[in-house]
Amino acid sequence: MGRIFPEAWRRSSALPGRRPGERVIDAYARVLATGTFEERAAAADAWDAWESTHVSLDPHFVPGPLHEDPLQRQVFATLVTHYRASDAFLPGERAILHRVGELAHIPAVLIHGRHDVSGPVITPWLLHRAWPDSRLIVVEGEGHGGPESSERMAEAISGFATRSGTIA
């Protein structure tokens, strides 16, 4: 994302308390988990600004904080940075693409916005090609979420519930 928004990346990577050589994401995760109240609040604000930058290409984007409530902003930032700093808990050979054969028999619907620059469509496309029982829906007019993606998600969930017989 820093290649698309270098000025925003520079601002967000200048996190106070970042250690020399420390990955930006690791610094955020550490400060959000162990910093003082003030440090956590500042890091959450900075992360929210970065998140709102990379979703700004979405047609449904509204400028401003993504999370108005400071506590919600901090919870979101802590969760996201911990997840990303942990390489989505699937590093190296544990990565889902290396293990997709384990999912082959499980039906799935992958929903992704064409204009999601923080998570390009190549990722779900590669996953879909390797996962025989998956269906990929690319929402052409959205980026990182939006009303059509939410609608498609609700349809997919209803479809799975109907298939399993839990909804009449």
Spell out the per-residue pLDDT of the chain, length 168, in tens: 788 889 988 999 999 989 999 999 999 999 999 999 999 999 999 999 998 887 777 667 776 777 889 999 999 999 999 988 988 777 788 788 888 999 989 999 999 999 888 888 998 999 999 998 999 999 999 988 889 999 999 999 999 888 766 554
b (16+ CB within 10 A) / e for 116-138: bbbeebeebeebbebbeebebbe
Q: What is the pLDDT of residue 53?
A: 84
34, amino acid identity = T
Say if residue 15 is in the same domain as residue 66.
yes
Among 89, 120, 152, identify where a domain stops. Answer: 89
* Tally of domains in the chain: 2
Among 89, 124, 147, identify where a domain stops. Answer: 89
What is the rounded end-to-end Cα distance, in angstroms, of the chain?
44
- Domain span holding position 160: 92-164
Asked if residues 81 and 108 have their Cβ atoms less than 8 Å apart, the reply is no
Say if residue 26 is in the same domain as residue 58.
yes
Say if residue 109 is in the same domain as residue 56.
no
Among 55, 89, 123, identify where a domain stops. Answer: 89
Say if residue 132 is in the same domain as residue 64.
no
Give the span between the Cα atoms of 17 and 152, in whole angstroms.
42
* Paired tokens of 12: 């967000």
